[in-house]
A and B are shown apart, each in its own frame.
Chain A
Amino acid sequence: MSASLEQDTIGAGSDARWMASALVTIAVVAVLGLVPLYTTLTGNAFLLTLFTRVLILAIGAVSLNLIMGYGGMVSFGHAAYLGIGGYAVGILAKEGVGSGYIQWPVAVAASALYALVVGALSLRTRGVYFIMITLAFAQMIYYVAIGLDRYGGDDGLTIYQRSTFGGVVDLNNKTVFYYLCFAVLLAGIYLVSRIVNSRFGLVIQGARANERRMRAIGFPTFRYKLVCFVIAGALCGLAGALLANHTNFISPAMMHWTRSGDLIVMVVLGGLGTLFGPLIGALVFLLLEEGLSRLTEYPDLFLGPILLLVAIYAHGGIEGLLRGGRRG
């Protein structure tokens, strides 16, 4: 078996490195908080659209990081939750249910339910088998969505009205929507930090390091991992609901397997098993994608080797580099 995914500890690297990492994190969060101000001043509304997308996909990456970074469960089908959350909103909107108080809980519940079924079946396998079975289930959902004639099939479905919250928040206001996504993201990160530092989280991380030992001590690791899997699915489902509102559109392409690959890239790029790594990863990946496509007609010619280099050299992603370079 290859090197195990190492857990991030504050002890890695010197204090100065840790400070640097903390400063970068604070700077990123602060800059993200000021984006609406900048776009209002310059009138470049697209920048706000772009950064809203960054925040939403970062939520997906944070949720993937919970199971993959802390739990060692490499899910190659995480985009399915984006799709399920999105379709929950889209289908309800099409059927005349516009209230976010109904749409969003349904999105979360549907994703959680799907995660429960997939997790119950696939957590029996490990390693590559787990990677592939999660991919297989995501493919099934992808084809289910293509088969949904009434909801556009392969062509997707336009959502004409964003979720309404009875006047409490107006999602049509771009700045409001941006800050809502920002709040959900920070709440998601906070949730992950609480989970990771709880007894429950320690069992999950223990199971990643040595599942047999955890079981021998008497922890029903399967159940712990399943609960963790469901929480991650639910959080990502919420990201899907946000994404559907953001683009006013849902389609099977939301859950194409390469989208699951993108989410993995974001997590690893930012730093596996670090709290803010997925956010930084999502930010860097999406800006890189957007910027490269403006600089060259062959963006993947550069993006591909960058990913390869990250995989080979940057253990622990960007967070890892900031904190002390090579580990493991």
Chain B
Amino acid sequence: MLYFIEQSLNGVQLGMLLFLLAAGLTLVFGIMDLVNLAHGSLYMLGAYFAATFAVLTGSFVAAVALALIGSLIVGMVLEVVAIRRLYERSHLDQVLGTFGLLLFFNEAVRLIWGPAGMTLALPAAMLTAVQIIPGVFYPVYRLVIILAALAVAALLYFVVMRTRLGMLIRAGASNREMVGALGINIKLLYTLVFGLGAALAGFAGVMQAPILTVQIGMGENILILAFVVIIIGGIGSIRGAFVAAVFVGLVETVGRAFLPDMLHRILSTNAAATLGPALSSMSIYMVMAAVLVFRPEGLFPAASR
């Protein structure tokens, strides 16, 4: 039972990381109707910024803050230079254009930082595990990730539901002409929203940097998972992204933890050893396919579309 709790926590933690990445993606997706394959590149840039600033400033907290600002700026510049020209294009053109951006960013990072990858070292206090309930040890930093993501979720909810900016965002998503007619600078609004999405991606990259990796292409595989999350959750729905992220995190981790053992009971050792990892790799995609077959617009379709 304690072991199950520990594994579930692992799943929730992965889900929180996915949420950070998926939130920015679904925001941009829902409001600007933009498929952004380069979202993973912003995630990568956030991590590289943090690792670089950590070396320059010597402070973990300063590095995180500077990386967030850096991602925000890169996002807004990117929006003005390239992304805004893609809003009116088909999804196909968006896939093509942002695929090009993804290639470009990978190569640019290799040119600037070299191919070796970097490390973001944690303060010593976080390099350990604590006993959260008797018998369950959990890495401190992973608890930090869970709390930070919950805080971001709360903040996002507050911004979108309770502020003027959030009101404009919601209005812009459902009827952009109307918002424009009211004298709101819709271009600026979009630049801000894309910057916010970029900052969220960058934050996800920063948070995972100490446990996962800072290297070229780090955003690509997890981007696919983030897409799975927003598809299951329903495009444009932050609430959906949150629920789906936790769900995907749990399926992925718990599947990995328990599926091979369950298979061992019914199959020969060899067959189970082969089938286990393959099945747990596929489980998320099977879940997504199942969701889409029964609910073609995801679990929480955004009301406006």
Contacts and interface: CB of A to CB of B under 8 A. Distances in A.
Interface stretch (A86-94, A126-134, A198-206, A211-219): A126-134
Given A140-B282, A312-B85, A304 B96 contact: no
A147 B92 contact: no
B150 to A, nearest CB: 27
B238 interface: no
B103 A143 contact: no
A68 B275 contact: no
A68 B228 contact: no
Most chain B Cβ neighbours within 10 Å, of A4, A257, A261, A311: A311
A140 B289 CA distance: 10
A303 B103 CA distance: 8
A268 interface: yes
A147 B277 CA distance: 8
B104 A144 contact: no
A322 interface: no
Interface stretch (A102-110, A117-125, A156-164): A117-125
A10 interface: no
B95 A140 contact: no
A258 B223 CA distance: 12
Contact of B100 (A126, A257, A299, A306): A306
Nearest to B287: A136
A76 interface: yes
Contacts of A146: 278, 281
A176 to B, nearest CB: 36
A241 interface: no
B286 A312 contact: no
Contact of A307 (B85, B99, B106, B296): B99
Contacts of B240: none
Contacts of B227: 132, 135
A308 B82 contact: yes
Interface string B103-122: 11111101100000000000
Contact of B92 (A74, A132, A139): A74
B93 interface: yes
B297 interface: yes
Contact of A265 (B29, B99, B274): B99
Contact of B286 (A4, A140, A301, A307): A140
Contacts, number: 147
Nearest to A268: B96
B33 A264 contact: no
Interface string A284-324: 00000000000000111101111110111000000000000
A1 B33 CA distance: 7
Interface string A23-51: 00000000000000000000000000000
Interface residues of B, number: 50
B8 to A, nearest CB: 24
Nearest to A308: B100
A304 B92 contact: no
A74 B91 CA distance: 9
Nearest to B297: A129
Interface in B140-196: none
Contacts of A224: none
Contact of B274 (A132, A147, A310): A147
A143 B278 contact: yes
B285 A124 contact: no
A128 B235 contact: yes
Most chain B Cβ neighbours within 10 Å, of A3, A126, A135, A308: A308
A36 to B, nearest CB: 32
A307 B278 contact: no
Contacts of B111: 298, 301
Contacts of A12: none
A307 B100 contact: yes
Nearest to B223: A257
A306 B108 CA distance: 15
Given A265-B99, A306-B100, A3 B86 contact: no
Contacts of B108: 301
A137 interface: yes
A304 B103 contact: yes
A2 B15 CA distance: 31
Nearest to B89: A2
A116 interface: no
Contact of A300 (B96, B107, B288): B107
Interface of B: 29, 33, 35, 82, 85-97, 99-108, 110-111, 220, 224, 227-228, 231, 235, 274-275, 277-278, 281-282, 285-286, 288-289, 292-293, 296-298
Given A298-B111, A308-B104, 10 more contacts: A74-B92, A124-B293, A127-B91, A128-B35, A129-B231, A135-B227, A140-B285, A147-B281, A261-B95, A268-B92
